[in-house]
Structure 1
């Protein structure tokens, strides 16, 4: 998972490691002989859908043992990477990198292997062009193989909708929210209708809504040229005003980000809608099941999203130059991001492939455990539809800090009753402290 995908970034580590990243970024260890038995270490995070693939690779490559570590959230994974990067040791052979970190990663791109040295040019047409572009540094070095992208649709609870007098059918829900012309104004308007009918919240908390709003813009917290783009940004201020009004109107359930009480909030009617990039579908399913629920809980997935196309997240597999098995690591990263494996990852976790041929594979467009859970929604087809029009947004070096540590507290403020103007001003103070004057 961005707010970066599944991110809770660590401010202290970010500040302390900044200079050290530059100092150690170019350290490189010579690649070892990969012909004999070797162990490859892999660090991933969140729900990437890769865990079930390693055994097959080991079976097909008897000389290779894979030692995998999966960190719970992208934020904790970012902290882990920055700490080890700054120390100059401890990095795995394959490091998963989240889209929201790219600004920081590109600042030390020389500390990652140029995968063109191991055949990247031969397979570069695999990916949607903008995904490959994201992983290409200013020198033209390809430093990552794309796993998923994060087109967003709307998760909603059909039972809660119908109890409030709203349609439960996903096509009717899409029409209710405006279809291809869906807007945030309409989303909040329908949310107020739902709240009036039920007295309950419309969405879990404002942070994920704000994240979607920002990611939809042609330029987010940074301009395409890399300049900060927050203060006096009339577009962002207008969106913030809508978000604050929604919270004031009782539309936010004021849940803690990434903590839904062991999934209970997904099963007790605390909220009726949820922002869902593909990878989040697996999170919803996991949360419902953790709370003892199943596909009968009412959660569905609609081909609609307020404000139009949006991408939240998407990751890459990189090979740090400290790896002693660079060739073998690059080969594993290439295999994990080939069509069959991206299809398998989607079926396991809903991570929508960044590989073009995988997007139309029957394993993505057809039935799966996810489709069954989401009331037989054709989730792969919907995500393919939602991916239309998605363009990668430039992520600057402090993008994740701005999302998490600048706006994170202010999002919590509006959910807790602070007026939008005060909360925005508080965010600007944090921006000065953590980014502008750091």
Structure 2
């Protein structure tokens, strides 16, 4: 890592050049006890840190049962952003990292700048099973030296969550196939989305979607190149496609389409059951969040949430994660084995049933657990979720995520989307975002 790059990261997130020293100092991790597999006579405790709703919890006890001597100590952090902060803090300190670390796609770029501080999973068979995952998922976690540092968990193909009761009350189609056509079907555009939203607001005098941040994230992820170009250079100022989408979003907010909800809060779920908004962009992993929010507020399937096979502008991916093994692990072989188990076809099918985490594992995508009925399909009033997500995954391309992609999303455009939701005009919010970008010295 070059000194100027390290200095910029230090200013943004308090990382320092000690990361490079940590990578060198911990390279001997494989020699610690990799030759001593866990057994009843040689117990091994493995730590794993995940975030959000990944659907892995049911798998831990099964793995312990199938592997005598293994004990799993799991930590789950509420959001990917907080998990990023946790990882950076421990990485910079050179202590406290788990044996298995979940990494979100949005901050994979930062992880790849220190990829040599992670175990090369090819040493434990990753290359032999690379064909188990969609190819772009494997490519994302492979560095310039050909080292694969993560096994893919889920991917985030996107459809639209909508409330059929609220649509019906507004005089709009409520059947999911009709809703898909309402938004333009296979040719759906953001103009279609915002046009339906304006109609909804006029008919109900209520907001259409929950807040602008999630919509903006989806709009950016859908571009061939987002905040960064494929060559790693910053791609914000002068990016006509990005600015055009910003203008669309800010215009919609000015017309009252956004409910200005707090991200990841929604009034402890109340906004999902009190009619505060009627639609939101949903990658597969978001479905478990919607279900949890509704049930947390005392609601259930009767509140009318459904899932439509449509997305403005076509195929888009938001999120997805990887399981990595930091080189500080004292048990790299056992940690790699656990990471592989948690991402195999059977496990990813279980994660989908548990949380709607759509598999990156190709065999899992075709399993009955994914394509059939489960608790999520029941909650979303019979929506064939696995089938819809499979359809929405077609045409998805992996967007290059630069090292500060998540910083830009959260610290530069996060405040800007909140600002337009509160009435700031789009030009002012955009210019403020660019000023923040310069202050953070992101290049």
TM-score interval, normalised by the smaller of the two chains:
over 0.9
Deviations 1:262-318 (A, max 9, x none): 100000000000110000000000000000000111000000001111100000000
For residue 21 of structure 2, the aligned residue among 19, 23, 27 is 23
Instruction: Measure, in 1, the Cα distance between the counterparts of 2:309 and 2:17.
Output: 44
Could you tell me whether the CA contact under 8 Å between 1:174 and 1:304 is conserved in 2? yes
Instruction: Measure, in 2, the Cα distance between the counterparts of 1:226 and 1:264.
Output: 41
Q: Give the superposition deviation at 1:259.
A: 1.1
Could you tell me whether the CA contact under 8 Å between 1:131 and 1:354 is conserved in 2? yes
Task: Give TM-score scaled by structure 2 length.
Answer: 0.95
Q: Give the superposition deviation at 1:122.
A: 1.6
> Which residue number corresponds to residue 3 of structure 1?
none
Mapping 1:26-425, distance limit 5 Å: 26-28=24-26, 29=29, 30-32=31-33, 33-35=36-38, 36-425=42-431
Could you tell me whether the CA contact under 8 Å between 1:13 and 1:79 is conserved in 2? no
Instruction: Measure, in 2, the Cα distance between the counterparts of 1:298 and 1:351.
Output: 21
Structure 1, unmatched stretches of 5+, are 1-10
Structure 2 CA distance for partners of 1:89 and 1:34, relative to 1, 3 Å:
farther
Structure 2 CA distance for partners of 1:18 and 1:161, relative to 1, 3 Å:
farther
Instruction: Measure, in 2, the Cα distance between the counterparts of 1:18 and 1:197.
Output: 54
Q: Give the superposition deviation at 1:16.
A: 1.4
Look up the SS of the partner of 1:25 in the other structure.
helix
Instruction: Measure, in 1, the Cα distance between the counterparts of 2:166 and 2:391.
Output: 25
Instruction: Measure, in 2, the Cα distance between the counterparts of 1:223 and 1:12.
Output: 23
Look up the SS of the partner of 2:317 in the other structure.
coil
Structure 2, unmatched stretches of 5+, are 1-8
Q: Give the superposition deviation at 1:13.
A: 8.1
Instruction: Measure, in 1, the Cα distance between the counterparts of 2:78 and 2:18.
Output: 25
Q: Give the superposition deviation at 1:206.
A: 0.3
Look up the SS of the partner of 2:160 in the other structure.
strand
RMSD: 1.2
Could you tell me whether the CA contact under 8 Å between 1:27 and 1:321 is conserved in 2? no
Instruction: Measure, in 2, the Cα distance between the counterparts of 1:356 and 1:100.
Output: 22
Look up the SS of the partner of 1:260 in the other structure.
coil
Q: Give the superposition deviation at 1:12.
A: 7.9
Deviations 1:4-61 (A, max 9, x none): xxxxxxx988431143323323332333233411100010000000011100010011
Instruction: Measure, in 2, the Cα distance between the counterparts of 1:118 and 1:58.
Output: 20
Instruction: Measure, in 2, the Cα distance between the counterparts of 1:350 and 1:423.
Output: 34
Deviations 1:294-352 (A, max 9, x none): 01110000000011111000000000110010001101111111111000000000000
Look up the SS of the partner of 1:150 in the other structure.
strand
Look up the SS of the partner of 2:370 in the other structure.
helix
Instruction: Measure, in 1, the Cα distance between the counterparts of 2:266 and 2:346.
Output: 33
Could you tell me whether the CA contact under 8 Å between 2:404 and 2:442 is conserved in 1? no
Could you tell me whether the CA contact under 8 Å between 2:23 and 2:327 is conserved in 1? no
Deviations 1:394-420 (A, max 9, x none): 000110011100011111110000110
> Which residue number corresponds to residue 6 of structure 2?
none
Look up the SS of the partner of 2:180 in the other structure.
helix
Look up the SS of the partner of 2:208 in the other structure.
coil
Could you tell me whether the CA contact under 8 Å between 1:221 and 1:229 is conserved in 2? yes
Could you tell me whether the CA contact under 8 Å between 1:147 and 1:337 is conserved in 2? yes
Instruction: Measure, in 1, the Cα distance between the counterparts of 2:341 and 2:207.
Output: 43
Instruction: Measure, in 2, the Cα distance between the counterparts of 1:410 and 1:24.
Output: 36
Task: Give TM-score scaled by structure 1 length.
Answer: 0.96
Could you tell me whether the CA contact under 8 Å between 2:180 and 2:308 is conserved in 1? yes
Deviations 1:66-87 (A, max 9, x none): 1100011111111111111111
Could you tell me whether the CA contact under 8 Å between 2:419 and 2:429 is conserved in 1? yes
Instruction: Measure, in 2, the Cα distance between the counterparts of 1:196 and 1:349.
Output: 35
Could you tell me whether the CA contact under 8 Å between 2:11 and 2:440 is conserved in 1? no
